[in-house]
Amino acid sequence: MSRPARSGRALAQWVPRPRVILATVALSAGLAGVALAGCAAPPPASGPKAMPLVKAAAAKAAAPAVASAPACDPYASSLKPNGPPSVTPGSWMDTIKRRGFLIAGVDQSTYHFGYLNPLDRRIEGFDIDQIREVAGAIFGINPTDDAVLGKVHFKAISDADRIPDVSGQAYKGVPPSSPLVDIVAHTMTITCDRLKLVDFSTVYFDAHRKTLVVRPPDEQAGPTLAQLGQRHEAACATKGSDSVNSIVDARAVKVEVPYWTDCLVKLQQGEVAGVVTDDSILEGLKAQDPNLEITALGLTPVDEPYGLAISKARPEFVRFVNAVLAQEIASGRWATSFRYWVDVQGPPRPTWKIGYAS
């Protein structure tokens, strides 16, 4: 492997906690970063299909919301903060502060974004770092201090539970419930459909739908989803995810499972030829098996801008969170977290324009 070793992890000691994960990172060195920053295909095979993330994001800032309905712009649909984050009396932040902990709905199986590290049994990742920022701002604790974890109750939730759990509204067959969490940080794409049910923060991560395949034994580039479809091979996605639509579009055989890691099992056992979803998630899967490769869809590109989901009943909390994100970006901690979890050569600040609806 000629990729840059992920020494950025060692350098980026912004969080003073033991990095047991380093051992595993050595195996997956540099995997996550390459595609997100430079190319979707491995370096020897970086073809024209692989669109560099930075350029893609820049292009999107100019012509946003390629895959969304024209009625909304996921990159500029959130609420503008009222100055720096402050816990105003009577606000939802105040409620959380009096309660003593923030309840966050998170993923626990998406490596490097939100996952339960089996080694220290802690939930960590890029999504989790955003939650640390929000909790730190509410409770007046430095988010890089582990003390902030004592102020968060992480509730691991499934993809399908994200909207019902944060809004209390029924969504896609999941029955309504009273809001169970204050905020959701769960590789959650801002879409126009979802914007009708929940509010989102500004975009904190910009993902793109890609294909994960087993690297061919020769030096050739791995197949795209479109090519898998031509060969009538099977591709895997989680049940009910939008990625299933891409598999159907490509005319590949669709295989649906509950979790993304279940797709990795099927890929490793040869039951499917590809996994289709956001590159952020695919990087996490690839980091667990160095024999894999991320390729393009071979179809119309699909953008997946991530936001933190909050109930529509709490606009003051949305503004607060956006203020927190703005502060995080300005302080450089966003870049540090991005470089730690996603790409060691990540940009110093988001490459997309942070816009607001009002």
Partner 1 sequence: MAGTAVTPRGGAALEHRVAPEPGMPSARRVIPMWRAGTSRGTTPGRLRTMLVLLILATLAWGALATFTVAQHASAAGDVVAANEPLTLDAQQIWSSLSDADDQAATAILAGGVEPANVRARYASDIKTAKIAIEDAAARGGPKDDLQTLSVGLSDYEADVATALADNRLGYPVGAAYLRAASGGMRAHLLPAANHLYTTETGRLTTASAQATGLPLVIVTVVVGLALGFGYYRASRWLLGRTHRVLNGGLLTACAVGAVALLWLIGAFVAGRGDLLTAQSQGSTPVQALVDANIAVLKGHVDENLTLINNTGDDSNEDDFKAAAAALGNGRGGLLAAAQRAAAGSPAAGQAQAAVTDVQAWLAKHQQVRTTDNSGNHLGAVDLVQSGASGAAFEKASLDLNNAIQADTLAFDANARSGQGAFTGLEAGMIIATLVMAGGIAWGLSRRLAEYR
Site residues for partner 1 per CB under 8 A: 20-21, 23-24, 27, 101, 103-104, 108-111, 115-121, 123, 152-158, 161, 180, 258-259, 261-262, 264-265, 268, 284-285, 288-289
Q: Which is nearer to partner 1, 133 or 206 (CB)?
A: 133
Judge whether 106 and 155 are in contact, CB under 8 Å. Answer: yes
CB of 191 to partner 1, least distance (A): 21
List beta partners, residue 156: 106
Q: Which is nearer to partner 1, 109 or 280 (CB)?
A: 109
Rounded Cα gap, residues 275 and 44, in angstroms: 22
CB of 154 to partner 1, least distance (A): 6
Rounded Cα gap, residues 53 and 34, in angstroms: 10
Burial of 258 (0-12, 13-18, 19+ CB in 10 A): middle
CB of 153 to partner 1, least distance (A): 2
CB of 347 to partner 1, least distance (A): 27
Q: Which is nearer to partner 1, 283 or 303 (CB)?
A: 283
Helix runs in the chain, H state only: 8-11, 22-27, 31-37, 53-62, 92-99, 126-139, 162-167, 192-195, 225-230, 243-249, 260-268, 279-286, 315-331, 333-341
Rounded Cα gap, residues 113 and 278, in angstroms: 12
Q: Which is nearer to partner 1, 79 or 104 (CB)?
A: 104
Q: Which is nearer to partner 1, 180 or 192 (CB)?
A: 180
Q: Which is nearer to partner 1, 60 or 151 (CB)?
A: 151
Judge whether 340 and 9 are in contact, CB under 8 Å. Answer: yes
List beta partners, residue 189: 306
Q: Cα separations (Å) of 38 from 8, 31, 179?
A: 16, 11, 40
Strands (E), 134-181: 152-156
Pairing of strands 122-124, 114-117: antiparallel
Rounded Cα gap, residues 44 and 42, in angstroms: 6
Q: Which is nearer to partner 1, 170 or 330 (CB)?
A: 170
**Coil vs helix vs strand at 286:** helix
CB of 133 to partner 1, least distance (A): 18
CB of 264 to partner 1, least distance (A): 5
Q: Which is nearer to partner 1, 129 or 303 (CB)?
A: 129
**What DSSP string describes 213-280?**
EEPPSSSSPPPPHHHHHHTT-EEEEETT-THHHHHHHTTPEEEEESSHHHHHHHHHTTS-SEEEEEHH
Q: Which is nearer to partner 1, 186 or 319 (CB)?
A: 186
Q: Which is nearer to partner 1, 131 or 318 (CB)?
A: 131
CB of 268 to partner 1, least distance (A): 8
Radius of gyration of the chain (CA): 19
CB of 277 to partner 1, least distance (A): 14
CB of 103 to partner 1, least distance (A): 5
